[in-house]
Amino acid sequence: DQAFSHGPGESRYVESKRHYEKPIPISDLVYLDRERCILCDRCTRFADEVAGDKLIHFISRGNNTQVMTFPDEPFVSYFSGNTVQICPVGALTAKPYRFKARPWDLTQQESTCTTCSVGCRTVVQSSRDELLRYQGVDSDPVNWGWLCDRGRFNFEAVNSDFRLSAPMVKLETGLVETSWNTALRAAGSMISDALAAGGPDSIGLLGGARGSNEDAYAWAQLADAIGITHRDAQLGDGLPVEILGLDRATIDDAANANTILLLGPDLKEELPVLYLRLRDAAEKRRSRIVEFATFETGMTPYAWKSVRYEPGEQPDAVAKALADADIAAQIASGDVVVVVGRPNLAESAEATVAALQALLATVPTAKVLPALRRGNVVGALTLGLAPSDADHDAMATLTAAAEGRIELLVLLGADPLNDCPDADLARRAVAGARRVLSIDTFACESTQHADVVLAASAYGEKAGTTTNLEGRVTTLAQQVTATGTSRPDWMIAVELGLMIGDRSFGSDHALRGVSTVADVTALIAADVASFAGATPEALAAAPNGILTGPIDVTLDPVVFSAPGRNRYDYRLVVSRKLYDRAVGTQMSRSLVNLAPGSAVHVHPLDLDAIGVADGSDVKIVSAKAGTVMPIRSNAQVPRGVAWSPFNQGAGTIEDIVDGQTTTTDVRIERV
């Protein structure tokens, strides 16, 4: 900055400089300018030692030494943006930020990424009231300065032209923009009408994990006041809220444990920086990882033992592993952490819960780190957006709506048409609910069916707090002005509550008196036992956040058994990739083309048995429905299993998944 402002204006270096073709795109997101490179080795060491993606290295010798990718191998890494951040001379630049602003023109605040539940600390940077860059902050207990590329570059979605800038109501011509007063009155009338027609049980509230703690708390309070029983911050893709009542591990606990038992999804795809932390634990030989998975994951190369199981056999695989002498001896050495999430969206969550309970029965001292994916899912579930029981969770709510028992479906940043494993149920639910109220940042597919849409402020446009998977509460910063007249979700809940009068907050309800987000944060600290220390003052003094404890719920014993199947069927695995058709990715210009697309993957020998060529279209038929998509040969998928990534657009696998069954078996036919 000083040289730019006060320097001599021209260089004293008169010798001939090196000239290379520039810039070279070494990946979809990163450009390399070799003339600037000082060969410091930071990017190559990061890619090799931290990310485990040995895709950039030095080539040639002496004066000709330069950083380069291997021939025909782009720098395809979920962590490539970190090399840009640590390059000291700007030789590596990020496509989404390149030449948008000078670093010294940016203003910034510390915040937390809410794209997934790891909760990486960031600085949010802007220029002229536009978000332009996120940089990782060295938070010792969480992300050590690293971010994944999805979390780093999806600021483009906040700036998207497709953001909702004003509330809308549905007229005969479709959704049209209106004033907040009109929209809130219409929303209030819908709530009153639903209460009059079917009582509080006829209202369903889905979502809340996208927003802040304050958003979730205010909506949960409104739901309590109205008496809404059908509510859930997950969309049939998580685990029962009761796992948050177990003895909770922190990320540091997991990354320093003797043994990590991994019952979760592919962490590299779903919780990328947690993957970096656990990979480091294994590489530095602090921890031994015992992974339970159907096929190879990003963690498999670093796992001490990788136990394979077929969908539906997870509890049996755990029981067998616990009987293995080596694994039993390793567990007996003490200090065990179980990382548990949802590995397969085409299989009931009960399989994973039963496997977890088998582990905890053998290792009752083990701590549990919940690997739930949605950004603020732990905060939302803890602060009141958890279902009271399985009869009122997201799948039960969608079923009730599909059967015409829901008068009003409230979608709080939820897009069930794209984000629920059972797409058919979601479609019937959205069509079957008499009215739909959507509170969202984008006109997503589910929002198009709404009768009233309330425009919500996005990440970076509102302050507050968030809770990560450990239960760590950290601050969120408002760095730019909210788009149009959009408002924070908590403010919408309070205004709506005041609008609907005596069916809502009582005259002495504390939310009646709030005027700032800090008021709501203070109210949560006063009202929710596990958030007792998380006052605005304490959070301001604790950049690494404040840990909340387990919540007061008990996980009942689960008995799980999978049905048998015939040898012509394939047992289906549906799991997430880092890039999918989620709205934050679709609306980010640099990320939108990174989703791999719909396909079903089978073992090469199964491909031969089906008698089709790699890449050709096949029909996949479950007991529920059929869909057509390309088939891919994939040697990592075991025989008899078919794997398809979740939420990848047209011809999606969600069309044939039945959210009510324990496992999903499919036939694969030539078309």
Site of interaction with ligand SF4 (CB under 6 A) = 37-43, 67, 87-89, 91-92, 113, 115-116, 118-120, 143, 147-148, 150-151, 271-273
* Nearest to ligand SF4 of 114, 438 (CB atom): 114
Reported as half-sphere exposure (CB side, CA atoms, 13 A), residue 65 has a value of: 10
* Nearest to ligand SF4 of 55, 113 (CB atom): 113
Q: Give least dist CB 335 to ligand SF4, A.
A: 25
**Contact status, residue 587 vs residue 157, Cβ threshold 8 Å:** yes
Phi, psi of 199 (to 5 degrees): 75, 180
* Nearest to ligand SF4 of 123, 522 (CB atom): 123
* Nearest to ligand SF4 of 67, 377 (CB atom): 67
Number of Cβ atoms within 10 Å of the Cβ of 60:
9
Handedness of CA 322, 327, 328, 331 (dihedral sign): negative
Q: Give least dist CB 412 to ligand SF4, A.
A: 20
* Nearest to ligand SF4 of 145, 315 (CB atom): 145
In 3D space, the residue among 652, 649, 561, 530 whose CA is nearest the CA of residue 600 turns out to be: 652
* Nearest to ligand SF4 of 270, 347 (CB atom): 270
* Nearest to ligand SF4 of 251, 425 (CB atom): 251
* Nearest to ligand SF4 of 20, 568 (CB atom): 20
Number of Cβ atoms within 10 Å of the Cβ of 561:
12
Q: Give least dist CB 113 to ligand SF4, A.
A: 3
Q: Give least dist CB 29 to ligand SF4, A.
A: 14
Q: How many Å apart are CA 509 and CA 534, to the nearest integer?
A: 21
Sheet holding 408-412, edge to edge: 174-177, 168-171, 452-455, 435-440, 408-412, 203-207, 230-232
Residue 23: cis peptide before it, omega within 30 degrees of 0? yes
545 conformational bin, left if phi > 0, alpha if psi -120 to 50, beta if neither: left
Q: Give least dist CB 158 to ligand SF4, A.
A: 14
Q: Give least dist CB 20 to ligand SF4, A.
A: 12
Q: How many Å apart are CA 374 and CA 469, to the nearest integer?
A: 9
Q: Which amino acid is at 49?
A: E
In 3D space, the residue among 343, 309, 296, 267 whose CA is nearest the CA of residue 636 turns out to be: 296
**Contact status, residue 562 vs residue 663, Cβ threshold 8 Å:** yes
Reported as half-sphere exposure (CB side, CA atoms, 13 A), residue 312 has a value of: 16
* Nearest to ligand SF4 of 168, 582 (CB atom): 582
Q: Give least dist CB 398 to ligand SF4, A.
A: 26
Q: How many helices (H) and strands (E) does the chain have?
A: 22, 29
Q: Residue 23: in which H helix or E strand, if any?
A: none
User: CB neighbours of 10 closer than 8 A, spacing ≥ 6?
Assistant: none
* Nearest to ligand SF4 of 116, 398 (CB atom): 116
Which residue, judged by CB position, is nearest to ligand SF4 in the bound state? Answer: 151
* Nearest to ligand SF4 of 152, 434 (CB atom): 152
* Nearest to ligand SF4 of 402, 539 (CB atom): 539
* Nearest to ligand SF4 of 148, 339 (CB atom): 148
Q: Which residues of 398-414 are buried (b: 16+ CB within 10 A; e: fewer)?
A: bbbbbeebbbbbbbbbb
Q: Give least dist CB 271 to ligand SF4, A.
A: 6
Handedness of CA 598, 601, 604, 608 (dihedral sign): negative
- Give the single-character DSSP code of 531: G
Q: Give least dist CB 422 to ligand SF4, A.
A: 25
Q: Give least dist CB 251 to ligand SF4, A.
A: 11
DSSP labels for 165-205? -S-EEEETTEEEE--HHHHHHHHHHHHHHHHHHH-GGGEEE
**Contact status, residue 663 vs residue 346, Cβ threshold 8 Å:** yes
Q: What angle do CA 43, 48, 49 make, to 5 degrees?
A: 100
Q: Give least dist CB 88 to ligand SF4, A.
A: 6
Q: Give least dist CB 120 to ligand SF4, A.
A: 3
Q: Give least dist CB 347 to ligand SF4, A.
A: 24
